[in-house]
Amino acid sequence: AAAALSGVLTPELMQGSGDYIMRCQTYEGGLGGEPGNEAHGGYTFCAVAAMVLLGQVHRLDTVRLERWVLRRHMALEGGFSGRANKLVDGCYSFWQGGLLPLLMPLLSSRTHVLVSGEDDRTASGVRSGHEYPFDLEALQRYILSACQDPSGGLRDKPSLRRDYYHTCYCLSGLAVTQSLLLSNDPVLGGLSNKLLFTDAVLNVEKSKAQRALQHFNALPKLQG
């Protein structure tokens, strides 16, 4: 991401990267930190975003990846977990929720993946006659109701302390979720909760990402 933003993502730098990332995709569909590791939400987002920047995201098994991501969305809490059989964590509102905008152009023709034990309405996130990859309102509610500390900042889950990391990625997940809303869908809690849209790959506010790209692209190219 830093190389793409600063205009130095050269063919030499990209060489072999896509092949390595491909080896990190597991039988579950998500990706681990290295080949053979368990699929993990943070590594999966970074890997998929890298493949988008490399122009190779189509090489991933997006059907299995779609299923794995949507299985991490917990129907009871409304948030995402990072791995199989793990608890919901507010930071995965971004690491998992942020994957869907990256995958949407390549998602299967199914409107949703039915998860065992869930009915069609829960699994597809049907609200007000619309279908989403996951329940956007439930995710917003988890972030705003469960992750906010009364004194400010955001956290993993109730009973845990706020910190800068979870504040960043809970808000990042909320921004992604709001960007998926249709024009007539309400922002949970009112417009005072509306955040600026971010670049889906870089997780930077769009105008700032564009300014950075323009700045670095105007500089003389590095010579090998």
The answer for 10, left when phi > 0, alpha when psi is -120 to 50, beta otherwise, is beta
**pLDDT surpasses 70 at 205:** yes
CA dihedral 106, 29, 113, 185 (to 10 degrees): -60
Q: List the structure tokens of 218.
A: 């105007």
CA angle 199–65–138, rounded 5-degree value? 65
Task: Check 24, 40, 73, 132 and give the catalytic one.
Answer: 40
Task: Check 61, 64, 157, 163 and give the catalytic one.
Answer: 163
CA distance 34 to 85: 20
Residue 81 is predicted with a pLDDT of: 97
The pLDDT mean for the chain works out to: 87
**86 catalytic per annotation:** yes
Residue type, 130: H
Q: pLDDT grade, residue 61 (50/70/90)?
A: very high
Rounded to a whole number of angstroms, the CA Rg of the chain reads: 18
CA distance 131 to 141: 18
CA distance 171 to 177: 10
Task: Check 43, 92, 142, 169 and give the catalytic one.
Answer: 92
**pLDDT surpasses 50 at 146:** yes
Residue type, 142: Y
Stretch 194-212: mean pLDDT:
93
**pLDDT surpasses 60 at 14:** yes
Task: Check 64, 86, 127, 206 and give the catalytic one.
Answer: 86
**61 catalytic per annotation:** no
**215 catalytic per annotation:** no
**pLDDT surpasses 90 at 18:** yes
Report the range of poorest mean pLDDT among 12-16, 21-25, 119-123, 156-160: 119-123
**19 catalytic per annotation:** no
**206 catalytic per annotation:** no
Q: pLDDT grade, residue 177 (50/70/90)?
A: very high
CA distance 22 to 96: 18
- C-beta of residue 66 within 8 angstroms of C-beta of residue 29: yes
Q: pLDDT grade, residue 181 (50/70/90)?
A: confident
First to last CA, the chain: 20
**194 catalytic per annotation:** no
Q: List the structure tokens of 23.
A: 């080896």
**73 catalytic per annotation:** no
What's the pTM value of the predicted model, to 2 decimals? Answer: 0.87
Residue 107 is predicted with a pLDDT of: 66
Q: By C-alpha distance, which of 47, 54, 64 is closest to 106?
A: 64
Other CB atoms within a 10 A radius of the CB of residue 106 amount to: 14
Task: Check 89, 132, 170, 199 and give the catalytic one.
Answer: 89
Residue type, 45: F
Residue 88 is predicted with a pLDDT of: 97
Residue 133 is predicted with a pLDDT of: 75
CA distance 200 to 203: 6
Write the DSSP symbol of residue 104: G
pLDDT digits (tens, 9 = 90+) for 85-144: 999 999 999 999 999 889 888 764 444 433 333 333 333 333 333 456 789 999 999 999
- Those residues with Cβ within 8 angstroms of residue 142's Cβ, 6 or more apart along the chain or in another chain: 77, 78, 79, 88, 90, 93
